[in-house]
């Protein structure tokens, strides 16, 4: 052996010999029998470490307790920033066994406690994955506050399985450690779970995409943190979860008006994102987002209730490009990814009799997969089909009506214009080109106010 299999540092040093090379450089000419997606790690184990790949419950380098992970990062289209290419898949969740485990002695922790991360630069286009440049190799252990959050995540996932809800697991349930679908989602590859007769899709623990981007930027590229952290010490999470900690910090401010809160935190009441600014100041963070929210893909959304308890406005999401939307598949569509991987912190304000907005309540929410993969999917499919067959535009006075899914035909979601100005002019920045060459005001998916209201009323 050219390295000491009992020493993490020696294994790391040996991995660093890969930096600046490609996989092709180290492969013999008959490598092709190992070709295919996801096998870069196995190839590195076999040809660089002279180690026969295994799928044990033990870490890859069991004597050193090191799990080898090879993963991609990519350059973002805008600017000089890099992000993780995808989530990092760790071990498969054994629904039947895991309900008897506890985190500290879990098979997950045993295998994935100490990671050796090897990053290659993913490039778009028709490039063979053995030709990507291997740029970094580094040992990684979860920092102490992150460890507490990952422990919480593990417990959230396992408790859901204990409740007989393995089939309802969603990445949006947790912060850094997710239960990602793994392999085919077809009916026949579904698995049994211990406390329900419903079969559930196979899932694997994974470090979520945003958390991997954080690891890349902070520990690999050594970039300075953009946002302050809410949790300063792991002991803050000793007897509570992150979510509970956040809600407990917000609670004392319920009943205060937006104006009072803006003044208390010395903020301009008319600032565009005043409600989210107020929330972060309450949480003790002076930046416009919190490190934990960025890492966990938690988004603050404010809702205003009228005095009578109704909501006047629907909730908007980013605009989509017509010609891009029709090329997507539902399962990896932008819309599905948004709702399956984002957790929302809803901050609810309500008007009182003097038309003052006061803070009423706050809670975390992520969309249940059962709704995402039925109702929201239907709206998405109808949108795609309407775009493909040709949107029907009907001009009436100053307005142009269309036949995309409207709020009245689905309880949960609809499609509506969202731009600075309405425009049906070619190349106008407020318009987007339809598949048939016409142009139409930019549109986005909205969540219906009635659904939002139901979520609020169902929340604790």
Name the residues that contact DNA, by CB under 7 A.
Answer: 268, 270-275, 288, 301-302, 304, 313-314, 316-319, 396-402, 404, 406-408, 414, 416-422, 429-430, 441-442
Question: Least distance to DNA from the beta carbon of 291, Å?
Answer: 17
Q: Which CB atom, from 93 or from 300, has the smaller least distance to DNA?
A: 300
Residue 383: φ, ψ to 5° = -65, -50
Question: Least distance to DNA from the beta carbon of 92, Å?
Answer: 35
Which is it for strands 394-396 and 399-401: parallel, antiparallel or unpaired? Answer: antiparallel
Rounded Cα distance between 227 and 445, Å, is 29
Helix, strand, or coil (residue 76): coil
Residue 361 contacts residue 348 (beta carbons within 8 Å): yes
Q: Which CB atom, from 178 or from 407, has the smaller least distance to DNA?
A: 407
Q: Which CB atom, from 92 or from 419, has the smaller least distance to DNA?
A: 419
Question: Least distance to DNA from the beta carbon of 274, Å?
Answer: 7
Q: Which CB atom, from 23 or from 404, has the smaller least distance to DNA?
A: 404
Question: Least distance to DNA from the beta carbon of 422, Å?
Answer: 4
Question: For helices 334-341 and 377-389, what crossing angle results, to 10°?
Answer: 160
Q: How far does CA 202 lie from the centroid of its chain?
A: 19
Q: Which CB atom, from 195 or from 411, has the smaller least distance to DNA?
A: 411
Q: Which CB atom, from 96 or from 426, has the smaller least distance to DNA?
A: 426
362's enclosing H/E stretch is strand 357-365
- Cβ-in-10-Å burial (0-12, 13-18, 19+) of 124 comes to exposed
Question: Least distance to DNA from the beta carbon of 93, Å?
Answer: 33
Question: Least distance to DNA from the beta carbon of 295, Å?
Answer: 19
Q: Which CB atom, from 49 or from 344, has the smaller least distance to DNA?
A: 344
Rounded Cα distance between 45 and 41, Å, is 6
Question: Least distance to DNA from the beta carbon of 418, Å?
Answer: 5
Residue 319 neighbours by CB distance under 10 Å: 16
Residue 370 neighbours by CB distance under 10 Å: 11
Rounded Cα distance between 292 and 281, Å, is 14
Rounded Cα distance between 344 and 276, Å, is 12
């Amino acid at each position: 052996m050219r390295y000491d299999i009992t020493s993490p540092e020696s294994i790391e040093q040996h991995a660093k010999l890969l930096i600046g090379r490609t996989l092709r450089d180290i492969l013999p000419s008959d490598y092709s029998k190992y070709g295919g997606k996801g096998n870069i790690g196995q190839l590195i184990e076999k040809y660089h470490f002279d180690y026969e790949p295994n799928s044990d419950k033990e870490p890859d380098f069991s004597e050193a307790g090191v799990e080898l992970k090879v993963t991609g990062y990519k350059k973002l289209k805008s600017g000089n920033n890099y992000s993780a290419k995808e989530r990092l898949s760790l071990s498969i969740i054994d629904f039947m066994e895991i309900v008897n485990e506890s985190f500290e002695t879990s098979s997950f922790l045993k295998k994935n406690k100490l990671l050796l991360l090897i990053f290659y630069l993913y490039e778009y286009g028709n490039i063979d994955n053995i030709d990507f440049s291997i740029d970094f190799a580094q040992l990684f252990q979860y920092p102490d506050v992150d460890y507490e959050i990952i422990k919480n995540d593990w417990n959230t996932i396992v408790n859901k399985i204990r409740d007989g809800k393995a089939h309802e697991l969603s990445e949006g349930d947790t912060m850094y450690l997710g239960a990602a679908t793994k392999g085919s989602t077809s009916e026949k590859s579904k698995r049994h779970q211990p406390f329900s007769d419903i079969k559930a899709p196979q899932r694997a623990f994974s470090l979520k995409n945003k958390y991997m981007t954080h690891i890349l930027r902070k520990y690999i590229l050594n970039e300075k943190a953009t946002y302050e952290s809410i949790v300063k010490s792991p002991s803050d999470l000793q007897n509570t979860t992150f979510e509970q900690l956040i809600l407990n910090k917000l609670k004392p401010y319920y009943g205060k008006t937006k104006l009072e809160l803006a003044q208390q935190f010395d903020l301009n009441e008319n600032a565009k994102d005043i409600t989210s600014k107020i929330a972060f100041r309450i949480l003790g963070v002076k930046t416009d987002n919190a490190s934990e929210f960025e890492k966990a893909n938690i988004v603050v959304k404010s809702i205003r209730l009228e005095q009578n308890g109704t909501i006047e406005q629907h909730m908007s999401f980013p605009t989509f490009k017509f010609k891009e939307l029709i090329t997507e598949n539902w399962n990896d569509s932008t819309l599905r990814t948004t709702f399956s991987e984002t957790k929302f912190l809803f901050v609810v304000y309500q008007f009182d009799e003097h038309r003052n907005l006061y803070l009423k309540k706050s809670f975390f929410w992520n969309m249940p997969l059962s709704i995402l993969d039925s109702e929201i999917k239907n709206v998405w499919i109808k949108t795609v089909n309407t775009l493909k067959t040709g949107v029907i535009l009907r001009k009436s006075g100053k307005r142009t009506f269309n036949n995309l899914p409207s709020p009245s035909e689905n309880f949960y979601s609809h499609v509506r214009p969202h731009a600075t100005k309405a425009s049906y002019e070619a190349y106008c920045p407020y318009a987007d080109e339809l598949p048939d060459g016409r142009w139409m005001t930019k549109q986005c998916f909205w969540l219906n106010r009635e659904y939002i209201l139901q979520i609020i009323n169902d929340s604790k």
